């Protein structure tokens, strides 16, 4: 199967999958209701794209992947189903996409884009070449997807529409759990149960690394039974498996150490130039993922210090005199 058509190809999540398949040599087509920078990016990489509905184009594909925003009565969906062409959502397509890889998944209500980008940046810094997809372009890579040469697949695991339930991660990073997307999750309990189901998707022998500074995660871990899952924690508390120690703002960024509490080993002294103590936690979590992957976190010191974040995440777009404009 080598011809895939995407409905909603200009979306952040769908465009990342499309870019990855293009890099792998697949034939990709797609439609969207309007142009966007992501629509233009996949078009520039070789996808055949159209604005508006095109059942005729969809029928040329072997498989169709649709955005979460695309309804069952979409003309392309109806035409494909009438002809027997499979129409999948992201969570149904992800098992095909991640097959054969060790999946490193980053989930959470907030911070997952930054953590995914941070993890990719550090893996590149230790000469790994991960495959990755996420919902924003990584600065300075200028892309939200790449087909790498290693067996690692780093993915931003989005809870919306149960996207992350299409994954079976080797290692999962869980940043926080705070009720969101009420248009899909009608109650806070439904939202929490989705995260519980995601944790249980961990591969046998795999690991979940969770930030217990977050109240939502603490409640989830207390209320649910994850007895058969290797569960590690990170944060500022002495009880955490991975502990941020001696954080200090030096005027240009944060200096901090990361301690592996069970062994009392200092995994390294690090610097982070993006602001916010929440980003210290993000850095601790991604460094913990490296450690659990068998990679020396100290080897990523330079790449973490040079990490510049992603677009639309505390993204400074203008600084004139005393005025600073931030896109977040």
Backbone angles phi, psi at 264, to 5 degrees: 55, 30
The rounded distance, in Å, linking the Cα atoms of 13 and 25 is 19
Give the CATH number of domain 3-88. 3.40.50.720
Please confirm, yes or no, whether 45 is among the known catalytic residues.
Answer: no
Please confirm, yes or no, whether 112 is among the known catalytic residues.
Answer: yes
Please confirm, yes or no, whether 23 is among the known catalytic residues.
Answer: no
Considering the domain delimited by 95-305, tell me its CATH architecture. Answer: 3-Layer(aba) Sandwich (3.40)
Q: Evaluate whether 191 touches 164 at the Cβ level (below 8 Å).
A: no
Q: Where are the domains of the chain?
A: 3-88, 95-305
Global pTM value: 0.93
Coil/strand/helix, residue 74: coil
- Residue pointed to by tokens 């992800």: 94
By the 10 Å C-beta count (0-12 exposed, 13-18 middle, 19+ buried), 244 is classed as: buried
Tell me the pLDDT of the chain (328 aa) as tens digits.
589 999 999 999 999 999 999 999 999 999 999 999 999 999 999 999 999 999 999 999 999 999 999 999 999 999 999 999 999 999 999 999 999 999 999 999 999 999 999 999 999 999 999 999 999 999 889 899 999 999 999 999 999 999 999 999 999 999 999 999 999 999 999 999 999 999 999 999 999 999 999 999 999 999 999 988 999 999 999 999 999 999 999 888 899 999 999 999 999 999 999 988 999 999 999 999 999 999 999 999 999 999 998 865 555 666 566 676 666 5
Q: Of 76, 156, 159, 213, which is the active-site residue?
A: 156
Q: Evaluate whether 157 touches 109 at the Cβ level (below 8 Å).
A: no
By the 10 Å C-beta count (0-12 exposed, 13-18 middle, 19+ buried), 262 is classed as: exposed
Q: Of 98, 113, 131, 241, which is the active-site residue?
A: 113
Q: Of 112, 175, 241, 310, which is the active-site residue?
A: 112
């Amino acid at each position: 199967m080598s011809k895939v058509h995407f409905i909603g190809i200009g979306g952040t999540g769908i465009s990342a999958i499309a870019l990855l398949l293009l890099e792998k040599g697949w034939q990709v087509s797609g439609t969207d209701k309007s142009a966007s920078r992501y629509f233009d990016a996949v078009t520039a990489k070789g996808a055949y794209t159209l604005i508006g509905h095109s059942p005729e184009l969809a029928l040329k594909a072997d498989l169709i992947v649709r955005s979460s925003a695309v309804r069952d009565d979409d003309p392309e969906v109806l035409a494909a189903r009438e002809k027997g062409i499979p129409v999948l959502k992201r969570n149904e397509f992800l098992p095909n996409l991640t097959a054969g890889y060790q999946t490193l998944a980053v989930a959470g209500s907030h911070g997952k884009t930054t953590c995914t980008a941070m993890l990719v940046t550090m893996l590149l810094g230790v000469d790994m070449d991960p495959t990755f997809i996420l919902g924003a372009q990584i600065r300075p890579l200028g892309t939200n997807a790449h087909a790498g040469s290693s067996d690692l697949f780093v993915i931003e695991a989005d809870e919306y529409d149960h996207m992350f339930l299409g994954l079976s991660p080797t290692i999962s990073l869980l940043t926080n759990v705070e009720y969101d997307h009420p248009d899909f999750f009608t109650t806070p309990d439904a939202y929490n149960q989705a995260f519980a189901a995601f944790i249980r998707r961990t591969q046998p022998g795999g690991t979940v690394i969770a930030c217990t500074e977050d109240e939502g995660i603490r409640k989830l871990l207390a209320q649910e039974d994850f007895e058969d899952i290797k569960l590690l924690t990170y944060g500022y508390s002495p009880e955490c498996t991975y502990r941020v120690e001696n954080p200090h703002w030096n005027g240009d960024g944060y200096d901090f150490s990361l301690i592996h509490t069970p062994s009392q080993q200092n995994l390294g002294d690090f610097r982070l130039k993006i602001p916010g103590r929440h980003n210290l936690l993000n850095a601790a979590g991604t460094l913990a993922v490296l450690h659990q992957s068998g990679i020396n976190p100290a080897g990523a010191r330079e790449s973490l210090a040079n990490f510049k974040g992603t677009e639309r995440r505390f993204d400074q777009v203008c600084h004139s005199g005393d005025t600073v404009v931030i896109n977040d």
